[in-house]
Amino acid sequence: MNPSPIKRRALFVSYDGSRFFGWQKQADGIATVQSALEAALSELAQEHISVVTAGRTDTGVHATAQVVHFDSAAQRPDQAWVRGVNALLPEGVAVWRVQDVAPEFHARFDACGRRYRYLLQSAPVRSPLLVGRAGWTHYALDMAAMRQAAALLVGEHDFSSFRAAECQAKSPVKTLYRVALCGTPELMAVDFHGNAFLHHMVRNLMGALVYVGCGKLSVDGFAGLLAARSRKLAPPTFMPDGLYLTGIDYPSQFGVATPPPPAWLFPDW
């Protein structure tokens, strides 16, 4: 009997980042999204499976539409790859779609855009219902000033001022296609859409935008910070709680598309 051909598949995954120590598998065996997903896939396929992700997320960072690919000779219907894997996954992570993809498709290297949404609460007291789901500041925020600062980020820039010290990216130059704020000063969503992001880049941008919103940093000062290309001058990294990976862009020939953020994650007003 001829062995089954190896096929490449893409999985669409969502997870609660507060339940895991980030995406990437660790040598000490701590709970990560990658380790949980690979264990479930390997058990279902009855062979060792490794996954490649579009983008690694840190501890506490969520995803509504993470994309991974994996190779397997196991013959399973799509329903089994979804329901079967979900039955083996721990709470806090779920596969919601699978599709066959071309052998040359690569979840990470073929990604031409990534989308994040940051949910932010501004209130004197943090809502216990939003802990782990939204970032929080006790300062009152000026959304108009924050929008002015956010507009300066659109385009190609050197984002060294918003790059973590441990970032391994070859270049700090990235392109942001869109940065948009919606909602109210008390509860807002900030969308970031770019070709790629540096380590902690969105959280560092949020830290600076909150400084602008509460008056600790002027819009001109924000522009100067971007131009300075120095992390030492920037505000602290903001909390991960409100950060969601909401989509990955791929060239149309691959037929891999992620939907807009779900309505429960703050509808666009």
Looking at the DSSP bridge assignments, the partners of residue 194 are: 114, 176
Q: Which residue has the tokens 């070859």?
A: 170
Phi, psi of 237 (to 5 degrees): -65, 130
Q: Do 86 and 95 contact (CB within 8 A), yes or no?
A: yes
For every residue of 183-238, DSSP letters joined together read E-SSEEEEEEEES---TTHHHHHHHHHHHHHTTSS-HHHHHHHHHHT-GGGSPPPP
Q: Is 118 annotated as a binding residue?
A: no
Among 28, 58, 71, 110, the one annotated catalytic? 58
Q: Do 106 and 148 contact (CB within 8 A), yes or no?
A: no
Locate 70 and state its tokens.
């994996």
| Whether residue 58 lies in the annotated active site | yes
Among 41, 22, 18, CA closest to 33:
22
Q: Do 206 and 149 contact (CB within 8 A), yes or no?
A: no
Looking at the DSSP bridge assignments, the partners of residue 156 are: 175
Binding annotation for substrate: 116
Binding annotation: 116
Give catalytic residues, as residue numbers. 58
